[in-house]
Chain A
Amino acid sequence: MMYGELGASRTKRTVTGMARLLKALRLDGMLLSGLAGVSLFGLFVLYSAAGDNTALWFSQLARVGIGFTLMIVLAHVPDHFLRMLSPAAWAVGIVLLAIVAVAGDIGKGAQRWLDLGVIRFQPSEILKLAVPMMCAWYLHQRPLPPSLRDIAVVLLIVAVPVGLIAEQPDLGTALLVAAAGIIVLVLAGLSWRYVLGGAVVFGAAVPVIWHFMHDYQRQRVMTLLDPESDALGSGYHIIQSQIAIGSGGVFGKGWMNGSQAQLEFLPERSTDFIFAVIGEELGLLGLTALLAAYLFIVGRGIYMSLQCRDAFSRLLAGSIALTFFVYAFVNAGMVMGLLPVVGVPLPLVSYGGTSFVTLMAGFGILMSLHSSRKLVG
């Protein structure tokens, strides 16, 4: 039939045209659709969580725009260039962290910000990418699986920035940076004996870490164990967020209809606790849909990393994909009362900070690493 044929060929042309466009932009269609899906979902939820504050929503919209632009730009940086830049990026990050430690701005009791006159930013964000880059750069030159000496070097690469960030104090970011580096090491083939040994050492070190924690950090761990003990203080967040999620049920109370969120019983509902808003308003369906989307993004990222052409690209791509999931796990775990309250945003959904932009930068790099392979292919 004429119309049918025309329609089919039009569709076909559109699809191939899209594919050609994506290829020209060096983007991965599957990953891009996953990211765009979660971002749109995030904006949808944030519109409700932000309440009357539309300025907040528009500023997040701007961040989404910046994030996707940065992703496209980074997707065009050749992989060898990224590799070459890794040590410099790491070193610059360390220097900036040191400057913050000495001269940074103090916001909410922690010293995290660097004020450059025009913009204020947290150097720790740079390290979220620079640390796995540096680890992958180093291991790329070494025969794998890594020797004991290589492991020590990588741990040093990770420990220096993590120490500086934890000192600010910014436990959440320190944790993410550490995870990004350690993941590279494990993917490179770190012997299971060391993984086990590390776990034992960590277990033994818990009392020591406890000793060095800030009071408020200890408080948060204690609160996790017994939120009711401090219903008004640190426990307040956890109790309220669990009430929000639990009262949402399977189908949720409906968009813009969460009483916990809309009546401001739920603190930080547009930032760290937005997961609870989803749970309350969109129910178990909303939460599982989001978790599935996260899984899809991670799976696609790992699949892409398998096709990369060398160790640097593989390790970095794998770390970017898995660290993304660590974000999601830590945030969701915290909001549902499985983990202590640490300041980690829900990836691609939470309002604020530079988190969205940093994540998209990471996926831009992942796409670059992946498409570089094809050119040689």
Chain B
Amino acid sequence: MRRVRIKDEALEQRIYFQRSLLAVGIVTAIALLLAGRAAWLQVAQHQHYLELSQGNRARIEPLPPNRGVIYDRAGRVIAENTPAYQLEILREQAGDLEETLSRLVRFGLLEASDVGRVRQLVLARRSFEAVPFLLQLDDEEVARFAVHRHELPGVLLETRMARHYPYGSVGAHALGYVGTISEDDMQRVDRERYFGTGVIGKTGVERAYEDELLGVGGHREVLVNAEGRPVKLAEGTDPQLRTREPLAGKDLRMTIDIELQRIAEEAFAGRRGGVVAIDPASGDVLVFASLPSFDPNGFARGISRSDYLALTENPDQPLFNRVLRGTYPPGSTIKPLMALAGLEYEVIRPEDQVYCPGTYSLPGSRHRYREPRRGGTHGPVDMHRAVMKSCDVYFYRLANTLGIQRIHDSMARMGFGQPTGIDIAGERGGIMPSPAWKKTAFATREQQVWFPGETVIVGIGQGYWTATLLQLANATALLSTRGRHFRPRLVRALVDPETKQVEEKPAVALPPLELNQPANWEIIVDAMVAVTTGGTAARAARGAAYSIAGKTGTAQVFSVGQTEKYDEKEVSERLRDHALFVAFAPADSPKLAVAVLVENGGFGASAAAPIARAIFDAYLSPASPP
């Protein structure tokens, strides 16, 4: 028989009484322990701690680590540390912070519009931390400070290592920059690691590899008097002072070739746009240019509010990273990929002829999709000719036959609609449209319907489809290697500054794209070679010592009415089409895959292709005159 336990109030009361009595005993014992500890600290150790707290404590002074140096792929220094004067505020010595700030403005060491920013900076740190607010002073500023030094208690002139970018604006969007640590930065980092360090990586590689570049701070104890000023005692009189040496951050080797980058940027000749060049065999990004660029030294110096506003309010948006965050309709540059999808799904054969009358209409619809600007017809075209001449009608029809879902699936496999995963933050993924995407992107049921006409224009890289230059370069690299695929990267190795030990980062291979018919690769590549030999980009490729496989494109900024004619001269410059060009070379053994965009550049062949040519020439035949 199972024994059933019932509640026994008397027993429970007795247990509770015993237990609570014991608890009171334990509590009393602990209280005695705490009091004992207090007595030990305050009676037995009192003298020791009194000395520490009085007599002017050893103040702990940070020894900031040297930030890692950044090299380009050829070993040229592109970010280094140079000694420079900087001004710091030590709040516990400054007394009246407001008075100090207003004096700094009066002495011309701080712009009035920056007072709020510096106040926030100082208040965000502990009062015994020296907060740098003006970095890399010039000689005149140093002289001015020297004159007024006695009026500025708590403002210290220190020599510190400061970040310097010898190539200035070249490659700034890939390299990024460091700037003074803001309150927001403080929220996301371990503030102990930044004791004594005034700057932090804000964008690009400087930010993405912040952890590696930063290093570990050290500190030393200094004796200070009652006002907190450091005092010197005779050598060896105070053995308690200790020093911990800082540990420098790791050096980085980037994949960028800074000279090639410079050539690419100069080829833009002042126009806006971007270019990416990738080594298809590793995913190394050799050129990563977004133009116009900016001088990162301004940020490293502690940019003033007015200079910053000038950058952000510039209509050309120099701070906008067009390569990483600009999403543009890819235009005709994706026609080779569309053709490949048609072959793979076996909806078309290379030799199938399509007659191009200059316009295309969906069955049962009167809406006409036109060939742009030429107005003429291509006559009968097969796949080779359609790519070479960039025949829209051929691809309107092909898109309609494939249907949007199959287009989406094959383009997604080439990386469209998702970030490439490059090793710096902030990348956007663009849009690879599909009926499923439209359901999430629009609110009402009527807007969520996918129309056949929307499929047709996706066939020529327009409509909802947007892509980044990184995605285009990445897809071109994929095409060039016939399906082998690497994640694009900007950093190839870390170097320990002490031991010089190199930690190579292996290239990240992605699952290769396997075709049902491997022969299809060559059909597409041949057509792209034809683009540069007898097609739309023939002029830009003339005389090259190597073969180029490419494809031009234009992305519409401004939509043209059904019967209107697009006239480049009449449309204002900002509404002109974006010019695009993707290419790789040499066609049979690819060394470089490039995607170029010139904003409002007009036609891809005339505006964008010469930039790619300049890069190929410099990289593949360095002997040729620049």
- Interface residues as binary, A125-152 with B (CB distance below 8 Å gives 1, 0 otherwise): 0000000000000000011110100000
Q: Which of B7, B35, B39, B53: most chain A Cβ within 10 A?
A: B53
Query: Taking chain A's interface residues, is the majority helix, strand, or loop, or is none over half, making it mixed?
Result: helix
Q: How far is the CB of A369 from chain B (nearest CB, A)?
A: 13
- Taking a contact as CB atoms closer than 8 A, the residue among A244, A288, A291, A311 that contacts B12 in the complex is A311
Q: Which 7 A-B pairs have the closest CB atoms?
A: A246-B49, A247-B53, A189-B15, A233-B192, A143-B5, A246-B41, A247-B49
Report the stretch among B26-34, B73-81, B438-446, B572-580 that lies at the interface.
B26-34
Q: How far is the CA of A319 from the CA of B13 in the complex (A)?
A: 15
Q: How far is the CB of B241 from chain A (nearest CB, A)?
A: 11
Q: What residue of chain B has the Cβ atom nearest to residue A246's Cβ?
A: B49
Task: Sample 27 A-B pairs with CB under 8 A, ordered by A number.
Answer: A108-B187, A142-B7, A143-B5, A144-B7, A187-B16, A231-B60, A231-B221, A232-B60, A242-B49, A243-B49, A244-B53, A245-B42, A246-B41, A246-B45, A246-B46, A264-B92, A284-B42, A287-B35, A295-B27, A298-B24, A302-B24, A311-B12, A314-B16, A315-B16, A333-B34, A336-B37, A336-B41
**B46 — which chain A residues lie within 8 A by C-beta?**
246-247, 249-250
Task: Count A/B pairs, Cβ under 8 Å.
Answer: 146
Q: Is A200 an interface residue (CB 8 A)?
A: no
Q: How far is the CA of A232 from the CA of B196 in the complex (A)?
A: 11
Q: How far is the CA of A27 from the CA of B280 in the complex (A)?
A: 80
Q: How far is the CB of A196 from chain B (nearest CB, A)?
A: 14
Instruction: Please determine whether B24 and A279 come into contact, CB atoms closer than 8 angstroms.
Output: no
Instruction: Please determine whether B30 and A265 come into contact, CB atoms closer than 8 angstroms.
Output: no
- Interface residues as binary, B42-71 with A (CB distance below 8 Å gives 1, 0 otherwise): 110110111011100100101000000000
Q: What residue of chain A has the Cβ atom nearest to residue B63's Cβ?
A: A232
Which residues 222-276 of A sit at the B interface, judged by CB distance below 8 A? 231-234, 236, 242-250, 259-260, 263-265, 267
Q: How far is the CB of A178 from chain B (nearest CB, A)?
A: 16
Q: How far is the CA of A260 from the CA of B17 in the complex (A)?
A: 45
Instruction: Please determine whether A250 and B43 come into contact, CB atoms closer than 8 angstroms.
Output: yes
Instruction: Please determine whether B92 and A305 come into contact, CB atoms closer than 8 angstroms.
Output: no
Q: Is B20 an interface residue (CB 8 A)?
A: yes
Residues of chain B having any CB pair with chain A under 8 Å: 5-8, 11-13, 15-17, 19-20, 23-24, 27-28, 30-31, 34-35, 37-39, 41-43, 45-46, 48-50, 52-54, 57, 60, 62, 92, 126-128, 187-188, 190, 192, 195, 217, 219, 221, 242
Which residues 269-303 of A sit at the B interface, judged by CB distance below 8 A? 279, 283-284, 287-288, 291-292, 294-295, 298-299, 302
Q: A188-B19, A314-B13 are in contact. List 6 more A-B contacts (CB 8 A).
A: A109-B187, A144-B11, A250-B42, A265-B128, A284-B38, A287-B35
Q: How far is the CA of A286 from the CA of B128 in the complex (A)?
A: 28
**B41 — which chain A residues lie within 8 A by C-beta?**
242, 245-246, 279, 336
- Taking a contact as CB atoms closer than 8 A, the residue among A243, A264, A325 that contacts B127 in the complex is A264
Instruction: Please determine whether B38 and A336 come into contact, CB atoms closer than 8 angstroms.
Output: yes
Q: Is A318 an interface residue (CB 8 A)?
A: yes
Instruction: Please determine whether A264 and B49 come into contact, CB atoms closer than 8 angstroms.
Output: no
Q: How far is the CA of A143 from the CA of B12 in the complex (A)?
A: 8
Q: How far is the CA of A318 from the CA of B49 in the complex (A)?
A: 39
**A143 — which chain B residues lie within 8 A by C-beta?**
5-8
**B38 — which chain A residues lie within 8 A by C-beta?**
245, 279, 284, 287-288, 336
**A187 — which chain B residues lie within 8 A by C-beta?**
16, 19-20, 23
Query: Taking chain B's interface residues, is the majority helix, strand, or loop, or is none over half, making it mixed?
Result: helix
Instruction: Please determine whether A279 and B42 come into contact, CB atoms closer than 8 angstroms.
Output: yes
- Taking a contact as CB atoms closer than 8 A, the residue among B30, B62, B188 that contacts A329 in the complex is B30
Q: What residue of chain B has the Cβ atom nearest to residue A322's Cβ?
A: B23
**B190 — which chain A residues lie within 8 A by C-beta?**
216
**B221 — which chain A residues lie within 8 A by C-beta?**
231
Q: Is A338 an interface residue (CB 8 A)?
A: yes
Q: Which of B39, B42, B219: most chain A Cβ within 10 A?
A: B42
Number of A residues whose C-beta is below 8 Å from B?
58
Q: How far is the CA of A42 from the CA of B242 in the complex (A)?
A: 38
**A315 — which chain B residues lie within 8 A by C-beta?**
16
Q: What residue of chain A has the Cβ atom nearest to residue B22's Cβ?
A: A186
Q: Is A306 an interface residue (CB 8 A)?
A: yes
Q: Which of B20, B37, B126: most chain A Cβ within 10 A?
A: B20
Q: How far is the CB of B242 from chain A (nearest CB, A)?
A: 8
Q: What residue of chain B has the Cβ atom nearest to residue A241's Cβ?
A: B41
Instruction: Please determine whether A305 and B20 come into contact, CB atoms closer than 8 angstroms.
Output: yes
Q: How far is the CB of B214 from chain A (nearest CB, A)?
A: 14
**B187 — which chain A residues lie within 8 A by C-beta?**
108-109
Instruction: Please determine whether A186 and B19 come into contact, CB atoms closer than 8 angstroms.
Output: yes
Q: What residue of chain B has the Cβ atom nearest to residue A263's Cβ?
A: B92
Q: How far is the CA of A250 from the CA of B92 in the complex (A)?
A: 29
Instruction: Please determine whether A246 and B35 come into contact, CB atoms closer than 8 angstroms.
Output: no
The answer to whether residues A322 and B34 also contact, given A144-B7, A246-B49, A247-B46 and a CB cut-off of 8 A, is no
**A246 — which chain B residues lie within 8 A by C-beta?**
41-42, 45-46, 48-50, 52-53
Instruction: Please determine whether A306 and B17 come into contact, CB atoms closer than 8 angstroms.
Output: yes
- Interface residues as binary, A33-58 with B (CB distance below 8 Å gives 1, 0 otherwise): 00000000000000000000000000
Q: How far is the CA of A294 from the CA of B28 in the complex (A)?
A: 10
Q: How far is the CA of A142 from the CA of B11 in the complex (A)?
A: 13
Q: What residue of chain A has the Cβ atom nearest to residue B217's Cβ?
A: A232
Q: How far is the CB of B190 from chain A (nearest CB, A)?
A: 8
Q: What residue of chain B has the Cβ atom nearest to residue A309's Cβ?
A: B9
Q: How far is the CA of A259 from the CA of B57 in the complex (A)?
A: 11
The answer to whether residues A265 and B57 also contact, given A187-B16, A302-B23, A306-B20 and a CB cut-off of 8 A, is yes
Q: How far is the CB of A117 from chain B (nearest CB, A)?
A: 22
Instruction: Please determine whether B128 and A264 come into contact, CB atoms closer than 8 angstroms.
Output: yes
Q: How far is the CA of A338 from the CA of B37 in the complex (A)?
A: 9
Q: How far is the CA of A348 from the CA of B15 in the complex (A)?
A: 31
**A283 — which chain B residues lie within 8 A by C-beta?**
42
- Taking a contact as CB atoms closer than 8 A, the residue among B24, B50, B126 that contacts A267 in the complex is B126
Q: How far is the CA of A233 from the CA of B129 in the complex (A)?
A: 13
**A242 — which chain B residues lie within 8 A by C-beta?**
41, 49
Q: What residue of chain A has the Cβ atom nearest to residue B16's Cβ?
A: A314
